[in-house]
Amino acid sequence: MNDKEGKIFIDKPAGWSSFDVVAKVRYQIKYETGLKLKVGHAGTLDPFATGLLIVLCGSETKNQDHYMKLNKEYEATLFLGATSTTGDPEGIISKKDKVNKVTKAEIEEVIKIFLGEIDQIPPQYSAIKINGQRAYQLAREGKSVEMKPRKITIISINILNFDWPKLTLKIECSSGTYIRSLAFDIGEKLGCGAYLTALRRTKIGKYSVDGAHSLEG
């Protein structure tokens, strides 16, 4: 499994945390080679999400920041007409009452609003540190979390499929973008609410999920 350049491309399955993947790769390298290497990853994927995770080994871990700053590409499926406390299927789902179905034309107009550099408020359930504690830890404790907006860039958004209430988008964006927040904001602009039901990272910079290693089996 070990890449001679110190990079391993993993197609992360749903249900695995990024830390789980790193631990699996570290164990596999030690099992196959007997080497105890430093192993890390270049960009977290939430457990429910799938797709490309770049795992760095040995001296390549020193280049983590380079990979973290690369643009990302995602395929995101939104459920319209409801919201989630976490922005994804793992939260408490609240369906909106008396929601008018939106049209594809309305969606196309709304997503244009988010193109280019925008201010985005990260989700409360995120790994961002606030006074030394992870935001998601504070949120789980029921504490009020004030998330400050960040500058991000949405390079492109395209509709891949729309069949109410499900909307699938292809999104290319800068590092630091939270697709859960983007989904929430799109739902707000549409007036119906939205949360992610599926998220797949297909590219990090020039690197594609095509041909990435599977952890299944």
Residues assigned a catalytic role:
46
Give, in order, the Cα–Cα distances in Å from 202 to each of 9, 79, 162, 188: 11, 20, 20, 26
Q: Which residue stretches of 113-212 are H helix?
A: 135-140, 179-190
**Vertex 102, ends 101 and 108: CA angle to 5°?**
165
Place of tokens 């643009």: 71
CA 193 to mean position of chain CA atoms: 19
Strand, helix or coil at 106?
A: helix
Q: Where are the beta strands (DSSP E) in the chain?
A: 7-12, 39-41, 50-57, 72-80, 82-84, 93-95, 116-120, 129-130, 133-134, 150-163, 166-173, 194-204, 207-208, 213-214
